[in-house]
Amino acid sequence: MHSKDRRGIAGGQSGQAAVETAIVVPMMVFMVLGIIQLGMVHNARLMTEYGAYRAVRAGIVNHGDCTLMEKAALSALLPTLPPLPGKDGRVDTLDAARKVHTNFVQRLFAANRLLPFYLEAGLPLFRVDVLNPSRGELSQLFTTYGVQGREIDYDDVRDDRVIEANLLSIRLTYFYELRIPFANMQLHAFYLGREYLDQLKGMQFELQRVGGRNAIQYLQERALSKQGDFPKIVALARGTGRDRHYVMPLVATWTMRMQSNLFNNDQHGPGRCAVGG
């Protein structure tokens, strides 16, 4: 074989390798980014479960104090949080974790209220909701059974309603920010579209068009029509540059029997976090 022919074959093989590399490398990069982001989400999910446990545990031994439950939940979420601007975010020692917790408490709490973390969307970093007892049940129970309307004995067995009310059930919603480039956008879109994915079959997800829009735009618009936190989550994702945040709510619930009396404290008590009529 002539040297000229060999050079031609070698050049063809080199070109083929370049094309294959151009196709495979981006896919590998996206796959690695997705694996990293999924691992971080799984870790945050476990910490949310632990945060719900910490919150309800703080509530049952501290008279259903809502502020203490929020601070207990925050302590569990610390390993998943980014550092505050100009602050150290390390939580690998007890002293470091205490400092980070103090910084976040100063940032998030004022006048015993949890301040919005993403101010432009009005979305909190996390939310603690008391599912049981409900706000309406508490009002009736404090009026009927409360000692001077201020507290309910946790071991009171005179009425089934009191027994049921002393079962504290909380829901922790952690609005976790996805931080890995590209993977954050994809996972965020899948979260928004989990009820509509049957309409987006076949082709590669992000390249599909629905009604002249790409799939992500379509899912965001569908989410805007829903109630609750969806419009706020979409508003964060539609920002520009550094103002764009992809947030995925992680939810956990936990229930424990009260081990201290429920206090009727409007500023700190369970009524502030309670939901329902």
pLDDT digits (tens, 9 = 90+) for 37-68: 999 999 999 999 999 999 999 999 999 999 99
Mean pLDDT of 138-147: 80
Q: Which of 59-63, 133-137, 221-225 has the lowest mean pLDDT?
A: 221-225
**pLDDT at position 6:** 52
- Crossing angle of helices 3-61 and 183-192, in 10° steps, is 60
pTM: 0.81
Mean pLDDT of 126-142: 88
> Is residue 183 over pLDDT 70?
yes
pLDDT: is 204 or 193 the higher one? 193
> Is residue 205 over pLDDT 60?
no
Q: What is the dihedral of CA 57, 60, 64, 68, to 10 degrees?
A: -30
**Cis-peptide, bond into residue 116, ω within 30° of zero:** no
**pLDDT at position 203:** 47
Counting other chains too, the contacts that 102-105 makes at CB distance below 8 Å and 24 or more residues apart are 104/74, 104/78, 105/71, 105/74
Quote the percentage of the chain above a pLDDT of 70.
Answer: 78
At 176, list the tokens: 């976790």
**pLDDT at position 61:** 95
